[in-house]
């Protein structure tokens, strides 16, 4: 896959989305962000898209109470913007079956642990770091994986390890992992763009 035409999906602040937007603009990532989709009309990701002059859409069950119609609206938006790869960046909803089928093998997600540890439904953000500390882990990390119909169960694409310090709190660990997320997602997407990783 050469020049990536990326769709970013995010539900909240969108700091990973921003890292990808910035990397494309700086030429560190051989691609461009074609569209940003959020299920939250007030998300920081929507604001970041607007600031970068990237088309963005609020597509959620509020506008489309019927799941099949929401799935179709998302798919039509992706096709209209000629998306080649979907990158989930803090997106809290499952994608629908038509979108999953059409983009099978071209949807990646970032998770703040070394999957399969500390993944699955309800395991996101602070909850992941709390679980890592409660388990007494000495390392955690970041996983990029392909997306299927189950949370955090798709094949692993790449992982990066992050140390857990003896005096870590949830906040200090979260900050260290997030810094690595921003770098590693871009690095992994560039490896996909350059053909080093074949999805």
Integer Cα distance of 147 and 153 in angstroms? 7
Q: Is 111 a catalytic residue?
A: yes
Residue 96 gets which letter from DSSP? P
Q: Which of 12, 58, 81, 111 is catalytic?
A: 111
Q: Which residues contact 158 (CB under 8 A, 6 or more apart)?
A: 143, 144, 184, 188, 191, 197
Q: Which residues contact residue 144 at a Cβ distance below 8 angstroms, ignoring those fewer than 6 apart? A: 108, 109, 110, 111, 156, 157, 158, 159, 184, 185, 188
Cα 66 to Cα 20, 53, 91, 151, distances in angstroms: 31, 30, 19, 21
Tell me which residues are annotated as active site. Answer: 111
């Amino acid at each position: 896959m050469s020049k990536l035409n990326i769709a970013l999906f995010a539900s909240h602040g969108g700091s990973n989305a921003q890292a990808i937007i910035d990397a494309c603009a700086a030429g560190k990532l051989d691609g461009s962000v074609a569209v940003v989709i959020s299920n939250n009309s007030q998300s920081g990701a929507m604001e970041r898209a607007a600031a970068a002059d990237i088309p963005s859409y609020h597509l959620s069950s509020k506008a489309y109470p019927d799941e099949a119609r929401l799935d179709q609206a998302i798919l039509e938006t992706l096709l209209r913007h000629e998306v080649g790869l979907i990158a989930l960046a803090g997106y809290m909803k499952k994608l629908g079956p038509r979108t999953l089928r059409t983009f099978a093998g071209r949807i990646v997600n970032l998770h703040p642990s070394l999957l399969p540890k500390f993944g699955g439904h309800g395991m996101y953000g602070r909850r992941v770091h709390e679980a890592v500390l409660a388990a007494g882990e000495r390392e955690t990390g970041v996983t990029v994986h392909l997306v299927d119909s189950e949370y955090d169960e798709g094949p692993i694409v790449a992982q990066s390890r992050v140390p857990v310090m003896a005096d870590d709190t949830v906040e200090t660990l979260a900050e260290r992992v997030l810094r690595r997320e921003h770098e590693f997602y871009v690095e992994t997407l560039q490896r996909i763009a350059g053909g080093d990783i074949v999805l």
